[in-house]
Amino acid sequence: METLTVICDLRLKPIINVTIHDGTKANTVKALIDTGCTNTSLYQGIISDMKLTDVSNGNGPLMTGIDNKEWRSGLYNVSLTIQDKIHLPVGKIAGFPVPNKDCDMILGMDVLSICNFAISDINGKTKISMVYPSLYDLDFTKE
């Protein structure tokens, strides 16, 4: 079992370190935790720097950015290590074309949903907790 707890300031974006592995290379980037995002995606510049191979055969996911522009993404086989603690055999992640000043990766629900993932807030301190593999059936209506 691998666990992670991150304390965040409510006024800041939840950004964590994620290391991307492709079997031969590794690169650590800043990743935004985005529960409103379906697919985890990596900035195309990092994909190019790591020389990751597109395995989508032109059938990658149709992605929509915050500006509502759509593009067809490639897919790239990687595994991820979150904050040097949680090792995930993710599989395929998408790419995004526009650089972001805050992060090079968006960690979406495809990754978050294979973990137990919870967000809590006590006295203005936001705590993000993760464990992989999932160990519990979290249901706050039963507590």
53-102 per-position pLDDT tens digit? 999 998 888 877 767 878 888 999 999 998 888 898 878 999 888 778 88
What pTM does this model have? 0.83
Task: Calculate mean pLDDT across residues 32-42.
Answer: 89
92: left (phi over 0), alpha (psi -120 to 50) or beta: beta
pLDDT bin (cut points 50, 70, 90) of residue 7 is: low
For residue 45, the tally of other CB atoms under 10 A from its CB is 14
* pLDDT at site 78: 95
